[in-house]
Amino acid sequence: MPELPEVEVTRLSFADRIQGAQIQSVHLGKPLRWPIGCVPSTLKGLTVKRVNRRGKYLLIEMDPSLLILHLGMSGSLRFEQASPNSSVTTKLHDHFVMQTNLGTLTLNDPRRFGAVVFAPTPHSHIVDKLLGRLGVEPLGEGFTPEFLYKALKTRKLSIKQALLGGQIVVGVGNIYASESLFLAGIRPTRSSAKVTKAQSVLLHKAICETLKRAIEVGGSTLQNFSNAMGESGYFQLESFVYARQGQPCRRCKTPIKQIVQGQRSTFYCPTCQK
């Protein structure tokens, strides 16, 4: 599943290119996770003002209306700039195709767990339903070591699952939670309520550095992820623990272990993480 770095990398790859574009047509393929919530033709003539992100959601803002996009488990966006007399060519699993005067934005999603949802205004019920309960942005000003420490104290579950939940901080998915906990020296099974203030400082730093680095190298391409220009990411080549079960730790040479937490694979070093 694309995580925050992949979603941000996707946003950066097409946001400037589509800004100011006027929507000419919208074509829907097979149904996605949720209905779009409007007749596609009502989008014709609207102008894209900007593209933002909230957690793993992309927000195509048209003032005051917006489209909320989620890539689901296997989705990816493709943006093809317009050329004279160009026509729209769809591919297998293209389920949302938005043609504009500047180019065509397409959501391709083989498993169809992704979504494109229309909201008339930023205060619409659907916006609150999808975004209202999300935690703070990990690269925003609201995410501080003190905030993290206090929030973890209120959770009665493992630190790994607390990070994945999204109510404390958004976008720290399975890959980046495992990597951040390794850098902070915290075992993923430790109770979140038992994480000390000093450990919270280390974990805060690790989360920020891990996500920033992942964005720098284009995210992680484990299966078929690519940004809107078709470019793959390379963070997986730098991972310390993720998907390295049985291989020696890059620091102490102890074999990396794999366990299952909440039906998700977790990877850690039994020596470096306490």
**Catalytic positions, written as ranges:** 2-3, 56, 264
Chain CA centroid to CA 215, Å:
11
Number of H helices, E strands in the chain: 6, 10
At a CB cut-off of 8 Å and minimum separation 6, what does 202 contact?
A: 183, 184, 185, 186
Cα–Cα distance, 70 to 95 (Å, whole number): 13
Task: Please give the structure tokens belonging to residue 91.
Answer: 């591919």
At a CB cut-off of 8 Å and minimum separation 6, what does 118 contact?
A: 36, 37, 38, 43, 65, 66, 67, 68
Cα–Cα distance, 33 to 26 (Å, whole number): 18
Cα–Cα distance, 209 to 64 (Å, whole number): 34
Q: Which neighbouring-strand residues pair with 176?
A: none
CA distances from 99 to 48, 108, 128, 226 (A): 12, 14, 28, 20
Task: Please give the structure tokens belonging to residue 207.
Answer: 């989360």
Cα–Cα distance, 25 to 96 (Å, whole number): 11
**Could you give the residue ranges of the DSSP H alpha helices within the chain?**
4-18, 125-131, 145-153, 159-165, 174-184, 197-216
